Amino acid sequence: MLRFRQLVIDIARRFLLRALALLSFAALLQCAPAPSPRAAAPPPPAGGRAVLVSFDGVAGERLEAMLDDPAKLPAGAFRRLAARGFHAVRSVPPTPSLTAVSHITHVTGGLPDVTGIVANTMLDPTKPFGTTISGFFAPIRAETLWQAARRQGRRVRLPASG
């Protein structure tokens, strides 16, 4: 009986060591360098304009694939913007990857725990229980790009700002 028990323990150890080796190899693969981005365009002249365009549901690698295939993204304004400006190749959507959460993360650099925007529709903590607020109109708890630009004396125009 003791020999059988020792045999089971040896088999379990070998299995665990192999599983650990496999997991370590998988983790190492995740650390491989990302493909190099396209050559960066020269910076715009001082005082130039910046236009932020955000595509819902298009991560950087997907946009890169679309730009590489003229059939997926024909010639036009978006292709010219990408050629003359900058686009994020390695962007990673936040979790949860919902529209309001993603756009607010995009313009603040903060994840949902920092911005307070955790869903497209959320419970409003300032109102009676069960009252909801849109994640698009909820207060943002982190500084946005336009707030940072204004703080630095830049002129900012938002389409929804009237």
Tens of pLDDT, residues 96-112: 889 999 999 989 999 99
Q: Which two tokens stand for residue 59?
A: 């991560």
pLDDT value at residue 115: 96
Q: What's the chain's Rg over C-alpha atoms?
A: 24
pLDDT value at residue 39: 58
DSSP state of 7: H
Q: What is the mean pLDDT of residues 53-82?
A: 79
AA letter at 124: D
Residue 41 has pLDDT above 60, yes or no: no
Residue 69 has pLDDT above 90, yes or no: no
pLDDT band at 38 (very low <50, low <70, confident <90, very high): low
pLDDT value at residue 161: 42
pLDDT value at residue 162: 37
Q: Which two tokens stand for residue 113?
A: 């725990």
**121 three-state secondary structure:** strand
Within 10 angstroms of residue 144's Cβ, the number of other Cβ atoms is: 18
Average pLDDT, the chain: 77
